Amino acid sequence: MEIKQTALAGTLESSDIQITLSQGSNGIQIELDSSVEALYGPQIKQVITTTLQAAGIDNTQVKAVDKGALDCVIKARTLAAAQRALGTVDEPNWEVL
Amino acid sequence: MQIREYNLRLPRYRKRWQAFMEHNGIHEFGQAELAPIEKTYVWEEDGELAATGSIAGKVLKYVAVCEKFKDGGALFNQVVSHLVNEEASRGRFHLLVFTKPKYVKSFGYVGFKPLAQTDQGAFLESGTPGVSDYLANLPHFERGKTAAIVMNANPFTKGHRALVEKASAENDQVYLFVVQADRSVFTFAERFDLVKQGVSDLTNVVVVPGGDYMVSSATFPAYFLKSDQEIGAYQAELDATIFRDSIAKPLHITARYLGEEPTSKTTAAYNAALSAVLAPQVAVKIIPRHTEAGEIVSATTVRQAILAGDQDQLARLLPPTTLTFVKENFADLQARIQKKGSK
């Protein structure tokens, strides 16, 4: 599915992650900012990528500012951003989670 | 902790907010800074102010957290987070911050990247499209001598034309950046169009929008004030640093051409700051003002001539392309100038 508009979900508070999705044409490109990047960077990116693919997004620029979010939070924020970006907020795709 | 919205137009809120800002070391409350503010939020604890932040277009302003709060870092993140979400709900995802150097780190933790830093101030951005997207959309030149001119061109005159001709003759290619902030009598679209038409015969000149990076209203509100007002020298310095590090370097620009400024204090101070900051990486060439029949050509004079309805003077100062546009929109322009004052 194509991204219709840039969208954001999440906050910058402790244990949360802020995900911004914007239009891209070169696969899923993730720019990650995290204090635990050295340890968990690959895993955070993996969770974001899997969630986006499950939501049917193959091309997007992702900006993620992580404040130590757990995987379930990363998934939830990514999905929220994806639905806002796709304009499908009214028809949640629960199976993605 | 409770979040509230403050209306700074109400004196009692304004007073309380300003006292808090001053307590935290911010002392600039000029009209140019305050007027663009759309929303101001404060965080209160037991009726006491703990933190505040405001939004003005895509710019986050007046962010402050009281030192008394031990978990100031978490509160700071909460403030920025709230502002970023407010901006997102308005459809703005590319954000700018102009702050003191000591806060660069704090903004760095929440995803902001510094574009330029001087001793007094720093300029950061976050989100898309950022400076790399901006640069990617410009043509790139791998060889030859590349120069740049930044102009507001409000509107494009024979003086601007002379400056561009000189740069065009002395270099292999010239970037002509048109200031994008829409704060002038002529809109950005009009100014951009007139510049494009006015230099269409010079094949090595590319006319491009200045984006948020050249004389941005975020860094440089004073530029758009009346010219008799003093500007913050540090703002000019910051603007010059952005140009040197984020624009000139990646585009291989080795010279910047400026028009000499005998009358406007603002522009004169801006030119002085550019000369101080850009060299030696970028050579600064100040070209004497172009004159027509002994009269200095400036956009300010043109706007005055439009107001006075002096057709002969306009014909002397403007190239045919701009003259045609001015004639076609004469009454409308007069009304706009009257409303805005001479700027």
Angle between helices B299-308 and B330-340 (to 10 degrees): 110
Inform me whether the pLDDT recorded for A45 exceeds 80: yes
Question: Strand locations in chain B, DSSP E?
Answer: 2-6, 39-45, 48-56, 59-65, 95-99, 113-117, 122-126, 146-151, 173-178, 205-209, 255-259, 283-287, 291-292, 295-296
Close Cβ partners of B34 (under 8 Å, ≥ 6 residues apart): B8
Within 8 A of B133 by CB-CB distance, chain A residues are: none
Q: How many C-beta atoms surround the C-beta of residue A43 within 10 A?
A: 12
pLDDT band at A91 (very low <50, low <70, confident <90, very high): confident
The region of weakest confidence among B68-72, B188-192, B287-291, B302-306 is B68-72
Which amino acid is it at B335?
A
**Cross-chain residue pair A12–B111, CB shorter than 8 Å:** yes
Q: Check residue B220 and give its pLDDT.
A: 61
**Cross-chain residue pair B110–A11, CB shorter than 8 Å:** no
**Cross-chain residue pair B81–A12, CB shorter than 8 Å:** yes
Q: Which letter does DSSP use for residue B91 in this model?
A: T
Close Cβ partners of B317 (under 8 Å, ≥ 6 residues apart): B157, B158, B159, B292, B295, B297, B301, B302, B305
Within 8 A of B93 by CB-CB distance, chain A residues are: 6, 8, 20, 22
Dist. CA A28–CA B16, nearest whole Å = 47
Give the position of tokens 């546009």. B325
pLDDT band at B261 (very low <50, low <70, confident <90, very high): confident
B182/B136: higher pLDDT: B136
Dist. CA B199–CA B151, nearest whole Å = 13
Q: Which of B61, B96, B128 is the last residue of a domain?
A: B128
Phi, psi of B312, deg, nearest 5: -65, -45
Domain range for B145: 133-340
B134 is written with which tokens?
Answer: 């901006």
Closest residue to A33, CB basis, from B88, B91, B111 = B111
Are B192 and B336 members of one domain? yes
**Cross-chain residue pair B84–A67, CB shorter than 8 Å:** no
Domain harbouring B329, CATH code: 3.40.50.620
Dist. CA A44–CA B277, nearest whole Å = 41
pLDDT band at B217 (very low <50, low <70, confident <90, very high): low
Angle between helices B188-198 and B320-328 (to 10 degrees): 140
**Cross-chain residue pair B111–A5, CB shorter than 8 Å:** no
Chain A interface includes B307 (CB < 8 A): no
Inform me whether the pLDDT recorded for A46 exceeds 90: yes
User: For residue B319, is the peptide bond before it cis, meaning its omega torsion is within 30 degrees of 0?
Assistant: no
Nearest to B80 by CA among B41, B117, B22: B41
Q: Are B309 and B334 in contact (CB under 8 A)?
A: yes
Are B141 and B116 members of one domain? no
The tens digit of pLDDT for each residue in B33-66 reads 788 899 999 999 888 899 999 999 899 988 989 8
Interface test with B, best of A3, A5, A8, A12 (most B CBs within 10 A): A12
Are B118 and B151 members of one domain? no
Question: How close is the nearest chain B Cα to the Cα of A15, in Å?
Answer: 11
Q: Which domains are assigned to chain A?
A: 7-89 (3.30.230.10)
Chain A interface includes B81 (CB < 8 A): yes
Q: Which of B105, B128, B151 is the last residue of a domain?
A: B128
Are B87 and B147 members of one domain? no
Are B268 and B159 members of one domain? yes
B343/B49: higher pLDDT: B49
In total, how many domains does chain B have? Answer: 2
Are B115 and B147 members of one domain? no
Inform me whether the pLDDT recorded for B225 exceeds 60: no
* Average model confidence (pLDDT) across chain B: 87
Domain harbouring B24, CATH code: 3.40.630.30
Phi, psi of A75, deg, nearest 5: -60, -50
Within 8 A of A7 by CB-CB distance, chain B residues are: 88
Chain A interface includes B71 (CB < 8 A): no
Q: Check residue A38 and give its pLDDT.
A: 94
pLDDT band at A10 (very low <50, low <70, confident <90, very high): very high
Q: Are B237 and B276 in contact (CB under 8 A)?
A: yes
Dist. CA B164–CA B258, nearest whole Å = 10
Average pLDDT over every residue of B18-45: 87
The tens digit of pLDDT for each residue in B100-127 reads 888 899 999 898 999 888 887 788 999 8
Q: Are B318 and B302 in contact (CB under 8 A)?
A: yes
Closest residue to B77, CB basis, from A6, A12, A33 = A12
Average pLDDT over every residue of B282-306: 89
**Cross-chain residue pair B109–A14, CB shorter than 8 Å:** no
Close Cβ partners of B99 (under 8 Å, ≥ 6 residues apart): B63, B107, B121, B122, B124
Chain A interface includes B77 (CB < 8 A): yes
Q: What is the ipTM of this complex?
A: 0.79
Q: Check residue B46 and give its pLDDT.
A: 87
Inform me whether the pLDDT recorded for B229 exceeds 50: no
Close Cβ partners of B126 (under 8 Å, ≥ 6 residues apart): B84, B94, B95, B97, B107, B110, B111, B112, B113
**Cross-chain residue pair B88–A8, CB shorter than 8 Å:** yes
Instruction: Reduce the secondary structure of B278-308 to three states and give it as a string.
Output: HCCCCEEEEECCCEECCEECCHHHHHHHHHH
Are B213 and B72 members of one domain? no
Instruction: Reduce the secondary structure of chain A to three states and give it as a string.
Output: CCCCCCEEECCCCCCCEEEEEEECCCCEEEEEEECCHHHHHHHHHHHHHHHHHHCCCCCEEEEEEECCCCHHHHHHHHHHHHHHHHCCCCCCCHHHC
Average pLDDT over every residue of B16-43: 87
3-state helix, strand, coil in chain B (%, to 5): 45, 20, 35
Question: How close is the nearest chain B Cα to the Cα of A50, in Å?
Answer: 22
**Cross-chain residue pair B84–A18, CB shorter than 8 Å:** yes
**Cross-chain residue pair A63–B88, CB shorter than 8 Å:** no
Average pLDDT over every residue of B212-229: 60
Instruction: Count Cα atoms within 13 angstroms, Cβ side, for B209.
Output: 15
Are B192 and B258 members of one domain? yes
The region of weakest confidence among A64-68, B42-46, B127-131, B327-331 is B127-131
pLDDT band at B244 (very low <50, low <70, confident <90, very high): very high
**Cross-chain residue pair B78–A13, CB shorter than 8 Å:** yes
Q: Check residue B68 and give its pLDDT.
A: 83
Are B8 and B123 members of one domain? yes
Q: Are B6 and B42 in contact (CB under 8 A)?
A: yes
Inform me whether the pLDDT recorded for B198 exceeds 70: yes
Are B147 and B233 members of one domain? yes
* Average model confidence (pLDDT) across chain A: 91
Inform me whether the pLDDT recorded for B3 exceeds 70: yes
**Cross-chain residue pair A12–B88, CB shorter than 8 Å:** no
Nearest to B321 by CA among B207, B229, B221, B239: B207
Are B93 and B173 members of one domain? no
Closest residue to A22, CB basis, from B77, B81, B128 = B128
Chain A interface includes B1 (CB < 8 A): no
Q: Which of B128, B163, B178 is the last residue of a domain?
A: B128
Q: Check residue B341 and give its pLDDT.
A: 65
Question: How close is the nearest chain A Cα to the Cα of B20, in Å?
Answer: 23
Q: How many C-beta atoms surround the C-beta of residue B36 within 10 A?
A: 17
A55 is written with which tokens?
Answer: 């939501």
Are B105 and B81 members of one domain? yes
Within 8 A of A8 by CB-CB distance, chain B residues are: 84-85, 88, 93
